[in-house]
Amino acid sequence: MIVILTALRFEATPFIKHYSLKRDSSYKRNELYRNNDNSILLLVTRSGKLPSAISLTEFLTTYKLTPYDHLINVGICGTSATDNIGSVYLCNRILDHDTAKYYYPDMLYSHNFSEAGIETFSVPVNESMTTKESLVDMESSALFVAGSTFLSPHQMHFLKIPSDMLEPDKVSKNDVNTLILDSVPIVTEWIDHLVSLSNAETSAYGFPTSLFPEEQKLFDTISESLRLSVTMKEQLLQLFIYHKLIHGDLSDIDFCPPIGNVTNQKRKILFEDLRQQFLQ
């Protein structure tokens, strides 16, 4: 699953159209859009550090992402260099202006974007302010910090399109729309690669270490009838996982609950017998 994050609705519009995303009306506090197979979602986080962090946190507590899912923050930003305007940048480091702390998204995936560092401010940045990085915005560091609670640094990507030379008041909605629209082909080509990779890796590495309902039932039956301790339950779970890895399932495991009282000594013997059966 790929989740596109934009601060503003009009930054989102070109991607909503491109991927034919539909509004999820059950998601109330922010605008959330999704495509038919749920491989691409788009969340409008609102602008600013706190609102965007809150929106992302709410989303990530609602949707449990896997290690093969990705967040992509796409949006306009300011720049200190004229020739940056209109290009798409993948940010390789993020400076939080208020705390002077740097954050580093993992740069694992190939791309055709330019790269730069970005500095996140709590207020709109104008020419009178000093910046340390060539790009500036109002969300990146907050999204990275909020996302890091739930996700790995390889799952968060920051694509920024400079719209102004630290003169945010001079940028119109139309300017933004044009810049984003121009970036859609290159951005969506990259997103499509990430979708393919995410799907391939989920099926290749997503071995379920949790138990299916019938396996859970067997686990509970064994645990209760043998009155297993917490440690023994952990050992039993590991036996389940190992046996499933070797044989694919647990269909050959034969367990008959013992009749009568299970003494500690008997429990130990029965558990060892069971262990040997799982290791076959």
Measured between alpha carbons, how far is 97 from 94 in angstroms, rounded to an integer?
Answer: 9
Taking the complex as a whole, the smallest distance from the CB of residue 106 to another protein amounts, in Å, to 6
CA–CA dist 268, 274 (Å, integer): 10
Separation of alpha carbons 253 and 251, rounded Å = 6
The distance of closest approach from Cβ of residue 234 to another protein in the complex, given in angstroms and rounded to an integer, is 8
Beta carbons of 2 and 68 less than 8 angstroms apart: no
In whole angstroms, how close is the CB of 243 to another protein at the nearest point? 9
CA neighbours closer than 13 Å in the CB half-sphere of residue 169: 2
- Under rule CB under 8 A, residue 92 binds another protein: yes
Distance between CA atoms of residues 100 and 146, nearest Å: 17
Q: Does 127 bind another protein (CB under 8 A)?
A: no
Which residues within the stretch 134-173 sit at the binding site for another protein (CB under 8 A)? 148-154
**What are the residues facing 79 on neighbouring strands?**
135
Among 9, 20, 114, 115, the residue binding another protein under the rule CB under 8 A is 115
The tokens of 185 are what?
Answer: 């082909």
Q: Does residue 229 interact with another protein by CB under 8 A?
A: no
Six-digit token string for 28: 């109330």
Is 56 or 239 the residue whose CB approaches another protein more closely?
A: 239
Q: Among 9, 132, 193, 266, indicate the residue that binds another protein (CB under 8 A).
A: 193
Residue 9 per-residue DSSP state: H
Q: Is 275 in the site for another protein (CB under 8 A)?
A: yes
Q: Is 109 in the site for another protein (CB under 8 A)?
A: yes
List contacts with another protein (CB under 8 A).
67-68, 92-93, 102, 104, 106-112, 115, 148-154, 189-190, 193-194, 196-197, 200-201, 205, 207-209, 235, 238-239, 241-242, 245-246, 275, 278-279
